[in-house]
Amino acid sequence: MRAGYAIVDEPSSSRLSHLTVQPTMPLLGLMLGGAWLAWPWFVVNALAMGSPTRRREIALVVVAFVVSIVLAGSILLALHLGLIQVGVARYAVLAVTVWKLGIAYWLHTLQSRTFGVYEHFGGRVRNGLGVLVIGFIVRAWLVTLPDFVWLVFG
């Protein structure tokens, strides 16, 4: 019996492999569309390229949504109760934005390692530009939703 050789970071094959994009695309998705687009896209990308850290990436997305809900709810509750003024709330919203960008960058960093190996071994990569354009168009509608929805998903 021969001992097998395995590369720890080597992606595993997946039925979704045809959906793999560069990790930069979901990161841009956050900037152009919002968290509603980027974080699920990171999950799909992790599954598509068979990322060995996909469980960690999915957990990060779940935590990101929960913390975003808590942050947005806290800001709006404090504003409603008169604990903070509108001017202060506008600055507090930056915390939500920084949180979302930080998580997206962390996910991008995790996926970039695997993506390099995936691409090196001939993995199929798609262009995500169409998804970015659709996300940008949907974002224009998203800003018309209530503040809480916008803070969490925008």
* Confidence at residue 131, expressed as pLDDT on a 0 to 100 scale: 94
* Bigger pLDDT: 17 vs 34: 34
* Confidence at residue 122, expressed as pLDDT on a 0 to 100 scale: 81
- Assign 56 a pLDDT band (cuts: 50, 70, 90): very high
Instruction: Give the mean pLDDT of 129-148.
Output: 87
* Confidence at residue 68, expressed as pLDDT on a 0 to 100 scale: 94
DSSP states of 50-116 as a string? T-TTHHHHHHHHHHHHHHHHHHHHHHHHHHHTTSS-HHHHHHHHHHHHHHHHHHHHHHHHHHHHHHH
pLDDT in tens, 59-87: 999 999 999 999 999 999 999 999 999 88
* Confidence at residue 8, expressed as pLDDT on a 0 to 100 scale: 56
Instruction: Give the mean pLDDT of 32-42.
Output: 94
